[in-house]
Amino acid sequence: MITIARLSSALARATAFAASAVMALTPAATAQQGVSLIRDTEIEAVMREYTEPLLDAAGLNRDSVGLYLVGNNEFNAFVSGGQNIFMHTGTIIISDTPSEIKAVLAHEIGHIEGAHLVRFGDGTRGAMVTMIATLGLGIVAALAGSGAGGAAIIASAPQFATLDVMRYTRTQEAAADQAAMTFLERTGQSARGLITTFERFRYQEVMSEARRYEYFRSHPLSSQRIDAMRRRVEASPYADVEESPEQIAELRRIQAKIIGFTVAPAQVFQRYPESDTSLPGQYARAVAYFRQGRLEQAQQRLAQLIEMEPENPFFHELEGQMLYESGRIEESVAPHRRATELMPDAPLLRVNLAASLIGTNEDDALQEAVSHLRFALAREDENSWAWFQLALAHEALGETAMAQLATAERFFAAGNNMQAFVFASRARDELDRGTPAWVRASELVAVAEPTPQEIRDWNRAERERRSPFTPQADRLFH
Ligand SMILES: [Zn+2]
């Protein structure tokens, strides 16, 4: 339910447009508009479950490979920014089985493991990462609509200010296919998903529909390539290994959630009509009703879901999100608290709870919020949304210097050294010398001290920002 954006002033002009595209729920942002990253505890858990055994099989360190969800319902996946896999939500909702998604992941891991030297695409293909939004896109609009939108839309993931779209050679593609099959075999899984995925899109390509699918432009499909894969897939002792009904059900569930949050509600109701009383059906409709502002209908569906699975943290999380975004802040505390009790290690659930607690503006709640945020930030120190919430909590508690330190951390995590330096300096001046907070502020001052070039750039950006001719849209994100 969180919106986090990485927006330095230099990027403001380009990103303002992309952000408005996200808010309007425009599908399929193009490279020029930027890439929006999505955070969601439930979906991330499933993707980790798919990815981690494959990383182990590839002999790669689980922690050294990042996996990011791109909020885009076109089929695509790519490697960028070093060892980072970017998976489109479209790949998840278009795939029939987990094995098809795993095949795509295994192929991308094959590129990483093979350390394939890359040729960069032409200049227009570099995509700019503009925003990290959880699936609750409502809050994006809520924050941007507030006067301080620029302050609330928070920087994150500095290493992905831009993404290089890679171009591989045919040989490298074939090597990645082979590697994918090796990793799937080593994990005792069938690699048929690789074939079914590629064949489906080959058919569409013939029907000239898939031309728009970037993935298949960068991964040209030849019958030769597919035949080579098929021979090896069928020879594998695991060719007939099937996924369990539980694994399929788990995929249907996150597909429903993504569709509920990202597809126009009318289409959601078409795909999941009221006659569909399955759990995914109820899940998708609950979200779609919520997005239409029909909270009562949404809550009815959600109540049924919670009755089916009272211990599912994500249903309680969704209830908390619905209430919070409907302005019923105090009521949102209990479901968010329940979600964290059911899944205490999940950082994002803690941040949700903290945001609700901060909204109540009571001292005890603010103190509790600080402890949840510290817990989350110890696990995700680049989560700028959490740093922003921490600053809010300290500010509300009257702890101005601590709020400034948290703001310095937020800018530092976003790669904005200039602002990190400014806020860390202020915090250091006010904090008691020798305390852990003072030590950290001093560290940030030393580490984030801007270079003369950064100072010149910053001054120029400030002059532009003050210009009466600066378009309004730019100001949102300074
Ligand atoms: Zn490839």
**What are residue 468's phi and psi, to 5 degrees?**
-65, -15
Give dist(CA 438, CA 444) in Å, integer: 10
Helix (H, G, I), strand (E, B) or coil at 191: coil
pLDDT tens per residue, range 16-37? 323 322 322 223 333 334 667 7
Q: How far is the CA of 78 from the centre of ligand 1 (A)?
A: 8
H or E stretch including 39?
A: strand 35-39
Q: How far is the CA of 179 from the centre of ligand 1 (A)?
A: 11
Q: How far is the CA of 213 from the centre of ligand 1 (A)?
A: 14
Q: How far is the CA of 434 from the centre of ligand 1 (A)?
A: 52
Give dist(CA 416, CA 410) in Å, integer: 9
Give dist(CA 361, CA 18) in Å, integer: 33
Give dist(CA 17, CA 30) in Å, integer: 12
Q: How far is the CA of 119 from the centre of ligand 1 (A)?
A: 12
Q: How far is the CA of 169 from the centre of ligand 1 (A)?
A: 9
Give the pLDDT confidence score for residue 116 in this predicted structure: 76
pLDDT tens per residue, range 361-395? 999 999 999 999 999 999 988 888 889 999 999 99
Q: Which of 40, 3, 72, 5 is nearest to 411 (CA)?
A: 5
Domain with CATH 3.30.2010.10 in the chain: 3-235
Give the pLDDT confidence score for residue 78 in this predicted structure: 84
Q: How far is the CA of 307 from the centre of ligand 1 (A)?
A: 43
**What are residue 27's phi and psi, to 5 degrees?**
-75, 155
Nearest 10 degrees: Cα torsion 439, 441, 443, 449: -160
DSSP 381-411: TT-HHHHHHHHHHHHHTT-HHHHHHHHHHHH
Give the pLDDT confidence score for residue 146 in this predicted structure: 32
Q: What 8-state DSSP symbol labels residue 160?
A: G
Q: How far is the CA of 201 from the centre of ligand 1 (A)?
A: 14
Q: How far is the CA of 22 from the centre of ligand 1 (A)?
A: 27
Cα-based angle 343, 344, 348 (whole degrees, multiple of 5): 80
For 26-50, letters b (16+ CB in 10 Å) and e give eeebeeebbbbbbbbbbbbebbeeb
What's the alpha-carbon Rg for the chain, to the nearest Å? 23
Give the pLDDT confidence score for residue 466 in this predicted structure: 65
Give the pLDDT confidence score for residue 173 in this predicted structure: 82
Q: How far is the CA of 156 from the centre of ligand 1 (A)?
A: 27
Q: How far is the CA of 271 from the centre of ligand 1 (A)?
A: 31
What CATH fold (topology level) applies to the domain 3-235?
Answer: Zincin-like (3.30.2010)
Give the pLDDT confidence score for residue 201 in this predicted structure: 66
CA distances for 375 relative to 44, 133, 387, angstroms: 19, 21, 12
Q: How far is the CA of 97 from the centre of ligand 1 (A)?
A: 20
Q: How far is the CA of 129 from the centre of ligand 1 (A)?
A: 21
Give dist(CA 41, CA 43) in Å, integer: 6
Given a contact cutoff of 8 angstroms between Cβ atoms, the answer to whether 308 and 280 are in contact is no
Residue ranges of the chain with per-residue pLDDT less than 50: 1-33, 121-126, 128, 130-159, 208-210, 469-478
Q: How far is the CA of 164 from the centre of ligand 1 (A)?
A: 14
The amino acid occupying position 447 is: V
Q: How far is the CA of 62 from the centre of ligand 1 (A)?
A: 20
Q: What 8-state DSSP symbol labels residue 111?
A: H
**Token code pair at residue 336:** 């968010």
Q: How far is the CA of 229 from the centre of ligand 1 (A)?
A: 14
Give dist(CA 270, CA 248) in Å, integer: 22
Q: How far is the CA of 183 from the centre of ligand 1 (A)?
A: 15
DSSP 407-429: HHHHHHHTT-HHHHHHHHHHHHH
Q: How far is the CA of 248 from the centre of ligand 1 (A)?
A: 25
Q: How far is the CA of 302 from the centre of ligand 1 (A)?
A: 40
Please count the CA atoms within 13 angstroms of the CA of 224 that sit on its side-chain side.
5
Q: How far is the CA of 93 from the centre of ligand 1 (A)?
A: 20
Q: How far is the CA of 384 from the centre of ligand 1 (A)?
A: 32
Give dist(CA 266, CA 289) in Å, integer: 10
Q: What 8-state DSSP symbol labels residue 435?
A: S
Give the pLDDT confidence score for residue 369 in this predicted structure: 98
